[in-house]
Amino acid sequence: MDFLYEKVMRPWFFRMDSERAHEVGVTMMSTLGRISPLCRAMEAWHRLPANRFKPVKAFGLEFPNTVGLAAGFDKHATAWPGAAAMGFGHVEIGTVTALAQPGNPQPRVFRFPESEAVINRMGFNNHGAEAVAARLAKQAPRGKRRIPLGVNIGKSKATALDAAVDDYLRSFELLAGYADYLVLNVSSPNTPGLRELQDAKRLRELLGAVAAANAARGADRRPLLLKIAPDLNYRQIDEVLGVIDEFGFDGIIATNTTLARPGPFAAVDEAGGLSGAPLRRHSTEVINYISRATLGKLPIIGVGGITDAASAGEKLDAGATLVQLYTGMIYRGPFFAAVLAKGMADRHRK
Ligand SMILES: Cc1cc2nc3c(=O)[nH]c(=O)nc-3n(C[C@H](O)[C@H](O)[C@H](O)COP(=O)(O)O)c2cc1C
């Protein structure tokens, strides 16, 4: 399968413009998701045998394996029903914003094959929380899904930073009912000002408001996670962890894309967030720091630069309970997650 992707599919994909290739990938996964018998057969093929492997437990949910699809691939919740068939153990849709928005002008995604990297400045193009909620209402409901579904929400571009809390609350109210877990994304580099929400004062307001709205759901409360940037310094990470603790958030996702331009990227003149192999080491360092600072008590989803079993394993070794990937799939193919999940299965053998 790897050979087929490397020799046939990848060259075909890479002849297309990056965003077009992304759209084709999303359409393929959506189509797969509609062919139930094929999905079930592929999922059965990839699923780790239940008699030999325990599910991975995190924030009250059970995952069939450690590898998830990171936010940004399925922005509008059209493709995720096909993710389990490709071997993913969970999937995170979004980022979804309260208002539908087109994102930044194209081109806005750039591949760097020699570095297994991508720079993107998509800018949260998405159909908006209302449309995504309507779509989720027609798909498999909670409790009947093959794998947990995370919903990642962010701030609408047209909403001023000072009105961000209400903007997130609107998305929360529309989408929480459909999410197995919910993620507040305050770390995309492509929405002006968004990362300022990581500052302690603004973060307290945001997390406090969403935690209160979540508590008001009573027994129907959802696990809440925060997704952070890799570009915070350790003092800033300590502040973020303090706020997470104060409002009883259930976990953290580390990390989003980076604004740093390591090595050969110093000469690359494209704005946006860098993902893939060049992000690997730093994202793992952040995970390691968080794990130590929280004495391993805060569940971490590790993401950034996973391109093989070693780079996924090092994130688990650094303290992550689960991992996610996106860029690695562009270079390694649609069944990369399945290969990784099998490679790391020993970590949750019975
Ligand atoms: C094209 C593209 C779009 C992305 N869009 C989002 C997004 O909407 N929300 C989000 O939280 N992360 C987004 N990300 C970041 C990924 O979820 C992930 O955190 C990051 O790419 C690092 O993982 P990777 O190296 O495996 O890609 C995006 C990444 C890429 C490459």
Alpha-helical (H) ranges within the chain are: 2-4, 10-15, 18-34, 36-46, 129-138, 164-175, 200-215, 234-246, 280-293, 309-317, 327-332, 336-343
Residue 55 exposed, middle or buried by CB count within 10 Å (0-12, 13-18, 19+): middle
Give the tokens for residue 167: 């903007």
Angle subtended at Cα 188 by Cα 185 and Cα 193, rounded to the nearest 5 degrees: 95
pLDDT level of residue 5 (50, 70, 90 thresholds): confident
Give residue-wise pLDDT tens across range 215-255: 999 999 999 999 999 999 999 999 999 999 999 999 999 99
Give residue-wise pLDDT tens across range 150-175: 999 999 999 999 999 999 999 999 99
Quick check: CB of 288 below 6 Å from ligand 1?
Answer: no
User: What SS3 state is found at 239?
Assistant: helix
Contact (CB, 8 A) for 103 and 123: yes
Residue 111 β-bridge partners:
118
pLDDT at 4: 82
Average pLDDT over residues 53-70: 97
User: What SS3 state is found at 119?
Assistant: strand
The CA distance from 123 to 242, in Å, is 28
CA dihedral over 308, 226, 19, 175, signed as positive or negative: positive
pLDDT at 140: 96
Which of 226, 326, 327 gets mutated to test ligand 1 (max ligand atoms within 8 A of its CB)? 326
Distance 6 CA to ligand 1 centre (A): 22
The CA distance from 151 to 159, in Å, is 20
| DSSP string across 118-156 | EEE-----B--HHHHHHHHHHSPPTTS-SS-EEEEEE--
Quick check: CB of 275 below 6 Å from ligand 1?
Answer: yes
Asked about 188 being catalytic, the answer comes back as yes
Residue 90 β-bridge partners:
68
pLDDT at 1: 64
Backbone phi and psi for residue 66, each to the nearest 5 degrees, phi listed first: -90, -10
| Third-level CATH fold of 2-348 | TIM Barrel (3.20.20)
pLDDT at 7: 86
Residue carrying structure tokens 């919910």 = 182
pLDDT at 291 exceeding the cut of 70: yes
Quick check: CB of 272 below 6 Å from ligand 1?
Answer: no
Distance 71 CA to ligand 1 centre (A): 6
The crossing angle, in degrees rounded to 10, of helices 309-317 and 280-293 is 20
Quick check: CB of 136 below 6 Å from ligand 1?
Answer: no
pLDDT at 2 exceeding the cut of 80: no
Residue 106 exposed, middle or buried by CB count within 10 Å (0-12, 13-18, 19+): middle
Contact (CB, 8 A) for 339 and 312: no
- Which atom from ligand 1 is nearest to the alpha carbon of 22? 1
Set 18, 187, 188, 291: catalytic member = 188
Distance 278 CA to ligand 1 centre (A): 14
Quick check: CB of 276 below 6 Å from ligand 1?
Answer: yes
Backbone phi and psi for residue 331, each to the nearest 5 degrees, phi listed first: -90, -25
Residue nearest to atom 19 of ligand 1 (CA): 256
Contact (CB, 8 A) for 134 and 176: no
Alpha-helical (H) ranges within 76-190 are: 129-138, 164-175
What are the residue ranges spanned by the domains of the chain?
A: 2-348
Amino acid code (one letter) for 11: P
The CA distance from 244 to 252, in Å, is 8
Residue 148's nearest CA partner among 205, 38, 222, 228 is: 222
Give residue-wise pLDDT tens across range 113-157: 999 999 999 999 999 999 999 999 999 999 999 999 999 999 999
- Which atom from ligand 1 is nearest to the alpha carbon of 122? 3
Backbone phi and psi for residue 70, each to the nearest 5 degrees, phi listed first: -70, 160
Give residue-wise pLDDT tens across range 296-343: 999 999 999 999 999 999 999 999 999 999 999 999 999 999 999 999
CA distance from start to end of the chain: 29
pLDDT at 22: 96
pLDDT at 8 exceeding the cut of 90: no
Quick check: CB of 89 below 6 Å from ligand 1?
Answer: no
- Which atom from ligand 1 is nearest to the alpha carbon of 94? 8
pTM above 0.95, yes or no: yes
Quick check: CB of 188 below 6 Å from ligand 1?
Answer: yes
Task: Write the CA distances from 206 to 8, 38, 85, 202, integer angstroms.
Answer: 47, 42, 36, 6
Distance 132 CA to ligand 1 centre (A): 19
Q: Are strands 149-154 and 117-120 parallel, antiparallel or unpaired?
A: unpaired
Quick check: CB of 72 below 6 Å from ligand 1?
Answer: yes
Give residue-wise pLDDT tens across range 196-212: 998 999 999 999 999 99
User: What SS3 state is found at 228?
Assistant: strand
Mean pLDDT of the chain: 96
Distance 57 CA to ligand 1 centre (A): 24
